[in-house]
Structure 1
Amino acid sequence: MEYNTHELSRLAGISARTLRYYDEIGLLRPCRTAESGYRFYGEKEVELLQQILFYRERGLELGTIQEIICQPDFDILEALDGHLSALIQQKERLDTLIQTVKLTIATMKGESKMDDTMKFEAFKNDLVDKNEQTYGKEIREKYGDEEVNSYNQKILGLSEKEYEQFRDLETAIRKRLEEAVRSGIKPESEAGRETAFLHRDWLSYTWKKYSPRMHKSLTDMYVLDERFKDYYDREVKGCADFLMRAVKYWIED
């Protein structure tokens, strides 16, 4: 069965404009285009659109999705298994957060008791699970299972105070990066030095042993991998590049 643009947009719950944009960027081509200019999509295109929407729901950018589904060996069944696994993990994270909120409410009402460790346990588990889901494959290939497992254990082992400091430092780094880029400050400046060392301190909360070489390698990934880049460039474009250059200039081996 074939669908024209408007029929498929209604079926998928997205706009016809989105489908046309996917065609323009080469993400989802119609199976044929009539002389009138109408686009038509067949069974294969419908299946690919479903995959695109699954990946979008998981937070991947269009460029990353295109790299995945355009690979010659892309396997839809394997991709569906991956989606199922990711969604189950997401459900487990949400269930844990829901239970934490319920227990907190009960504690505030005097119906239960919750120690400070339990208040932050769900957030630490959520952070580890999200990192694994989004970056796990790449960072395990790059740094090895032992290094990544150590990172996860350090996150989970952070005290309440350490966890708050870790997240506050993360926020401070992003704020400094955005201010520097907006102001046109160079990475070789004093602001660049301070940001590079703050980033080093932030990594030290989770790394078993800090390494300048690994620090520089990681910031390379911030620029080369769209998911990392999007995290730092979410509000102001150029933050990931600023951080990478500041670290390379100021962090000595």
Structure 2
Amino acid sequence: MNKRTMAVHEVAALTGITARTLHYYDEIDLLKPSIITKAKYRQYTDEDLSKLQEILFFREVGFALKEIKELLNTPNYNRTDVLNKHLVILEAQKERINALIALVKKEIEGAKELTFSAFSNEKIVELQAQFRAEVLERWKNTKAFKEFETVFSPQAEKIQNEQMENFYSTAQSIFEKLSMYENDSADCPEVQSIVCEWQQYISEHFYECNEQILSYLGVLYITDERFTDFINRFGRDNLAGFFSKAIEVYCENLSKSNNQY
């Protein structure tokens, strides 16, 4: 019996992951399709899709793609154990959603219940942090652990809160999206759109990130080793340098635009 296979566009439709992302996963050897046809078309098997699920699970709790690649290739990796940990997190997310649904229904029915506990994400954040810690402890001799512990050290965990967890999740999403354009020009529309997204996120959640501040951040990302190492975790090479150049272009275009008025 022939194994079922799926083309890139079919996997994209099934998972909601873009074809570009799937191609990128292939390029960095994170998820390579098991079959390449004579016509050079990628074909994914059920085993490939199962691995994709694992990748998405790890991304959801904050691991960078480089780290996921290394973790999945570790000899003592236990998929069942990992899935059980994720199930606990998903159950907590379900519990939170159910509490929010119940609260909304009460509001619709006219009950003015002033409670905000249902909005709390604290339990989920705590479980995710615990899961990361357990995984990293198990693979603590790997390169991934050594890189990751600089961000999630015991000291850092003490000061982490929901805002920082949301920041990390957003940063991960933005920098991984940026990494897919590393071989393109820093001034291409897609890259410039990502810079704008980053600027808006900082402005909305931390402080007004005007042209001058954004330009300063761009320099900081390549002069401060802490920022450079953090950003480079999400790319193939020098993502921090690429991002800095993209910010420089973005700020130059802003300056030109402002000088026209």
Q: TM-score, structure 1 length as denominator?
A: 0.48
Q: TM-score, structure 2 length as denominator?
A: 0.47
Rg: which structure is higher? 1
- Higher relative contact order, chain-length normalized (CA < 8 Å, sep 6+): 2
In terms of fraction of residues, the more helix-rich structure is 1
